[in-house]
Chain A
Amino acid sequence: MPLKKIGELKVNSQPASLAEVDRFTEKLIRKMPFPNEAQDDVAISISEAVNNAIMHGNRQDPQKQVLIRFYSCSQYLRIVVQDHGLGFTPNRVPDPRKEENLLKASGRGMLIMRHLMDRVVFRVVKMGMQVILEKRFPGGLPT
């Protein structure tokens, strides 16, 4: 079964949009064959990607929106979060687990996404930056 688009949402670049995205996400993934814990993993990871798109990508510019698209096939769920920023180089991001970074209040979003999802891809597209998140359904083949 090929990937099919199952939902789409566009939100303004302000922190208050996180709650809106979470309500949409929760409704959509409730119907999927994920155990409760995996549903939380997906919701947490989406909140990280959208937060980064709002804060770092679009820098809270009221002229710019964040686009979130959901796709699924028989094996996995894919979420694509897109901003209108310049992108960044993921492997230049400091490791938050280093002693000197442990008491910093930020810098853990990418680590958490990578840990909770089966696949996380960052790529620069013409429009801006895309973060692709994938989570396999129970028994689903590797993505």
Chain B
Amino acid sequence: MKLKLHEENNVLIIEIKGKMMGGPEANDFHEALKTEIGKGFKKFILDLREVDWMNSSGLGMLIGGLTTIKNAGGELKLSSVTEKIHSLFVITKLVTIFESYDSMEKALESYR
């Protein structure tokens, strides 16, 4: 799993690439979030377009991220949720927990 961060209209966008399978990489994600929250960011979008697959540790990472951001008074939205990831959200009943958009444009639009 690789992370790429950039800012657009005061929104912090995190692109995730590869497999979200947990292990040591989950910590990198949480560290990155904390750093960006520390810089004052409140609006976050996770871009999942290039995620190959995700397991329960990946889902745990997303939930942990959501909790961290909410506790800091911020918001997290997901963009480009693939069909496969969506089906995991359905199986686990997490669909109602995450605010998801099928494209980055729509996710950004929702913050305007």
Contacts and interface: CB of A to CB of B under 8 A. Distances in A.
Interface stretch (A56-64, A109-117, A127-135): A109-117
Interface in A18-33: 18-19, 22
Interface majority SS (helix, strand, loop, mixed), chain B? mixed
21 contacts: A15-B22, A15-B24, A18-B23, A19-B21, A22-B19, A40-B84, A43-B53, A51-B55, A96-B92, A103-B63, A103-B67, A103-B97, A105-B67, A106-B60, A107-B56, A109-B55, A111-B56, A111-B92, A112-B55, A112-B56, A112-B92
Interface of A: 15-16, 18-19, 22, 37, 40, 43-44, 47-48, 51, 96-97, 102-109, 111-112, 115
Contacts of B61: 105
Interface residues of B, number: 25
Contacts of B52: 40
B57 interface: yes
B92 A105 contact: no
A22 B55 CA distance: 12
A103 B23 CA distance: 20
A135 B103 CA distance: 33
Contacts of A51: 22, 55, 57
